[in-house]
């Protein structure tokens, strides 16, 4: 039989929809780098920094909960258009922010856009894509997420040079009593940082313009009784009119079965019907577990705090740490291509389980690396006290000076480790940290002694506030790279791909909304607790905890996760209805395949919901 390729138009549709993923990835990646500079000019304390970062996640979570209703009511295309407008508006507000409240409002608006786009983007692609390449096209969304994160990390690396240059000129400016010049320079750098936050409005605007020419989901059109429009759309995105007609008949049969089921249920609301259906409850449990495990395995600690983790491992030069984090992000981006290659060759189940197995191994490497670092903590060499310091400082200085090792020193929030970077680092001292303008402990320098000017890279004089130098620093960096090497091909894209496939049409919007909100809820939970966990149960304890979550998830998925490769969206629900031993008997030809047998009286199977 002859084969024919899908029309180019389907790739255009998928690429424009995947911009949703880029916006999500760029925003999560750029905010930490830009915040380094913004916090100085806008005078942000720790609470304000956490609020500005987390408010986006909060609004993304809230709106991912309700977006399912809007996609079912108004269609997929209008929601994507609206998300583009919202994201563009939020980006403009951030770019022109003159104060912290304006910036906070901009971050909240962007969170709304991300919450809408992160759910509807993958679902739209899944509904317009032919089933034989559906996995690869939905994985494009995750490729754009990782691409956005990589571009953001490179941008953050460039911003770090601006911060470094600002530090170098600060002394010269003050020496010449040109305070206004320094303030002007700081303002310029901050404007550039805000511009980097707001620049995401450009791809959002491109998506908005492009989607004016994109079609609505044919499945949504059939559901609304617009069969002729649905056929016209299918003819544009399928290889032949015959294939389009066959798929249209299958969608119509599925909708008829859905209406019959709706009559039998006396018109119960969607949530009641979802939780009264055993196969759908099972599908939703699998989808939500996938979303939860992708977050509980620690991905966003790696993406949000990769530079911090690298510094915790002993890389003290900030610019180097940021560029190493960019290198780590490039692993995430490049390895997503592996997932695109294998998703239609090995299937979703094998790719997910293999990926999660590698993530478990990588988390163990990360945990072991931090455990080795803490086990070989350098000893303290007491530094003579400066007799000119006020007597009121003596009590806290005594707390720091009595510490016996770097590990015991950095566990105290008022202390830091000052050392010369010559292994085995036996000349270090535990000193009292300086105070910020908000009376918080300054992580950049000590209040007295050798490190009162902070880290001086040329002289290899280092101030370590919450980490210790170690010969095992390379092990944690290797663990980060291994983690993303295994996470990016499978556990990154597969939750989005599988969740876009496993629900019947009538419940797809609501179920996708629930699973996406689970993803955002655990994203927020893990992001807000990571630094606290590293202090409460140590760094290695935190990664062992993530490792245990991943192991539990692997056990659950190996039992419950079916294979959806090559199964039409109208038939996927049967995978959760049938007994496990019969799953392999479900062999459905992709409805978009050119090999479909059109001679069998033109009949298509009716799948009852």
Task: Provide the pLDDT confidence category of residue 167 given band limits of 50, 70 and 90.
Answer: very low
Q: Among candidates 166, 204, 7, which has minimal Cα distance to 86?
A: 204
Segment 401-415, tens digit of pLDDT: 888 888 889 888 889
Segment 289-311, tens digit of pLDDT: 999 999 999 887 777 667 666 76
pTM of the full predicted structure? Answer: 0.75
Strand partners, 43: none
| 412 in any annotated domain | yes
Task: Provide the pLDDT confidence category of residue 37 given band limits of 50, 70 and 90.
Answer: low
Q: What is the pLDDT of residue 85?
A: 93
Distance CA(380)–CA(419), nearest Å, equals 9
> What is the DSSP track for 58-107?
HHHHHHHHHHHHHHHHH-HHHHHHHHHHHHHHHHHHHHT--SHHHHHHHH
Segment 257-299, tens digit of pLDDT: 777 666 666 656 778 888 888 888 999 999 999 999 999 998 8
SS3 annotation, 399-449: HHHCCCEHHHHHCCCCEEEEEECCCCCCCCEEEEEEECCCCCEEEEEECCC
| 267 in any annotated domain | no
Both structure tokens of 603: 């009949």
Average pLDDT over residues 209-233: 90
Instruction: Point out the domain boundary residue: 524, 545, 560.
Output: 560
Distance CA(376)–CA(540), nearest Å, equals 14
Segment 243-256, tens digit of pLDDT: 888 888 888 888 87
| 579 in any annotated domain | no
Could you tell me how far CA 294 lies from the centroid of its own chain? 9
| pLDDT for residue 5 is more than 70 | no
Q: What is the pLDDT of residue 589?
A: 43
Alpha-helix residue ranges (DSSP H) falling in 487-538: 494-499, 505-536
Write the CATH number for 324.
Answer: 1.20.1250.20
Domain with 115 in it? 8-218+272-373+473-535+554-560
Query: What does residue 608 show for φ and ψ, rounded to 5 degrees?
Result: -85, 135
Are residues 78 and 145 both part of a single domain? yes
Q: What is the pLDDT of residue 56?
A: 87
Are residues 182 and 135 both part of a single domain? yes
Q: Among candidates 592, 368, 338, 328, which has minimal Cα distance to 480?
A: 328
Are residues 107 and 21 both part of a single domain? yes
Are residues 23 and 127 both part of a single domain? yes
Are residues 299 and 321 both part of a single domain? yes
Q: How far is CA 62 from CA 47, 56, 82, 466, in A?
A: 21, 10, 16, 34
Are residues 156 and 106 both part of a single domain? yes
**Positive or negative CA dihedral for 301, 307, 308, 309?**
positive
Distance CA(120)–CA(113), nearest Å, equals 11
Are residues 405 and 459 both part of a single domain? yes
Are residues 47 and 116 both part of a single domain? yes
pLDDT, the chain, mean: 79
| 597 in any annotated domain | no
Task: Provide the pLDDT confidence category of residue 209 given band limits of 50, 70 and 90.
Answer: very high
Both structure tokens of 539: 């760094």
Q: What is the pLDDT of residue 609?
A: 32
Distance CA(450)–CA(382), nearest Å, equals 12
Considering 383-397, 459-473, 534-548, 568-582, the range whose residues carry the highest mean pLDDT is 534-548
Q: How far is CA 231 from CA 215, 246, 392, in A?
A: 11, 10, 80
Instruction: Point out the domain boundary residue: 416, 431, 464.
Output: 464
Is 2 exposed, middle or buried, given 0-12, 13-18 or 19+ CB atoms closer than 10 A? exposed
For the chain, the domain total comes to 2
SS3 annotation, 341-360: HHCCCCCHHHHHHHHHHHHH
Cβ partners under 8 Å of residue 384, min gap 6? none
Are residues 417 and 479 both part of a single domain? no
| 256 in any annotated domain | no
Cβ partners under 8 Å of residue 417, min gap 6? 378, 406, 409, 410, 428, 429, 430, 431, 463, 464, 465, 468
| 184 in any annotated domain | yes
Instruction: Point out the domain boundary residue: 437, 464, 491.
Output: 464
Sequence-distant contacts of 70-73: CB under 8 A, at least 24 apart: 70/116, 71/119, 71/120, 71/123, 71/220, 71/509, 71/513, 72/220, 72/270, 72/509, 72/510
Are residues 281 and 419 both part of a single domain? no
| 432 in any annotated domain | yes
Are residues 526 and 418 both part of a single domain? no
| 547 in any annotated domain | no
Are residues 302 and 447 both part of a single domain? no
Both structure tokens of 148: 């956005």
């Amino acid at each position: 039989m002859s084969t024919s390729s899908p029309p180019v138009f389907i790739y255009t549709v998928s690429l424009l929809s995947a911009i949703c993923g880029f916006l999500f990835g760029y925003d999560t990646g750029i905010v930490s780098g830009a915040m380094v500079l913004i916090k100085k000019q806008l005078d942000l304390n720790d609470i304000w920094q956490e609020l500005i970062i987390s408010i986006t996640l909060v609004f993304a979570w809230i709106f991912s909960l309700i977006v399912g209703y809007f996609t079912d009511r108004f269609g997929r295309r209008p929601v994507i258009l609206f998300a583009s407008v919202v994201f563009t508006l939020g980006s403009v507000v951030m770019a022109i922010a003159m104060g912290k409240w304006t910036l906070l409002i901009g971050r909240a608006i962007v969170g709304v856009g991300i919450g809408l786009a992160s759910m509807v983007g993958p679902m739209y692609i899944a509904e317009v894509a032919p089933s034989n390449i559906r996995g690869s096209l939905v994985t494009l969304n995750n490729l754009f997420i990782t691409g956005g994160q990589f571009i953001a990390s490179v941008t953050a690396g460039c911003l770090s040079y601006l911060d470094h240059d600002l530090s170098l000129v600060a002394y010269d400016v003050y020496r010449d009593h040109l305070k206004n010049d320094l303030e002007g320079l700081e303002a310029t750098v901050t404007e550039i940082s805000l511009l980097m936050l707001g620049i995401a409005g450009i791809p959002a605007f491109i998506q908005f313009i492009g989607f004016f020419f994109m079609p609505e989901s044919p499945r949504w059109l059939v559901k609304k009784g617009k069969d002729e429009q649905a056929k016209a759309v299918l003819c544009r995105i399928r290889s032949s009119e015959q294939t389009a007609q066959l798929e249209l008949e299958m969608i119509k049969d599925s909708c008829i079965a859905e209406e019959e089921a709706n009559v039998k249920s006396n018109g119960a609301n969607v949530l009641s019907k979802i939780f009264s259906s055993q196969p759908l409850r099972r599908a939703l449990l699998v989808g939500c577990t996938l979303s939860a495990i992708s977050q509980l395995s620690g991905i966003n600690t790696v993406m949000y705090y990769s530079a911090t983790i690298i510094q915790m491992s002993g890389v003290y030069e900030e610019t180097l740490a940021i560029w190493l984090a960019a290198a780590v992000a490039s692993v995430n981006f490049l390895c997503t291509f592996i997932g695109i290659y294998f998703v239609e060759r090995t299937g979703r189940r094998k790719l997910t389980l293999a990926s999660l197995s590698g993530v478990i191994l990588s988390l163990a490497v990360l945990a072991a690396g931090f455990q080795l670092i803490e086990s070989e903590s350098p000893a303290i060499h007491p530094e003579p006290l400066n007799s000119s310091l006020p007597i009121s400082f003596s009590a806290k200085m005594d707390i720091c000076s009595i510490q016996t090792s770097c590990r015991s020193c950095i566990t105290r929030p008022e202390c830091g480790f000052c050392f010369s970077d010559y292994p085995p680092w036996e000349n270090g001292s535990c000193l009292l940290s300086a105070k910020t303008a908000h009376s918080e402990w300054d992580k950049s320098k000590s209040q007295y002694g050798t490190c009162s000017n902070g880290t001086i890279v040329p002289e290899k004089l280092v101030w370590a506030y919450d980490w210790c130098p170690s010969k095992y620093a390379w092990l944690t960096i290797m663990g980060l790279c291994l983690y993303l090497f295994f996470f990016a091909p499978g556990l990154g894209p597969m939750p989005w791909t599988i969740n876009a496939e496993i629900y019947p049409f009538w419940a797809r919007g609501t179920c996708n909304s629930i699973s996406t909100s689970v993803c955002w809820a655990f994203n927020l939970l893990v992001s807000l607790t990571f630094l606290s966990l590293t202090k409460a149960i140590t760094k290695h304890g935190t990664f062992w905890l993530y490792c245990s979550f991943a192991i539990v998830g692997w056990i659950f998925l190996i039992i419950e996760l079916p294979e959806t490769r090559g199964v039409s969206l109208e038939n996927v629900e049967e995978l959760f209805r049938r007994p496990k031993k019969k799953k392999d008997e479900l062999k459905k030809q992709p409805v978009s395949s050119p090999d479909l047998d059109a001679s069998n009286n033109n009949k298509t199977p009716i799948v009852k919901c």
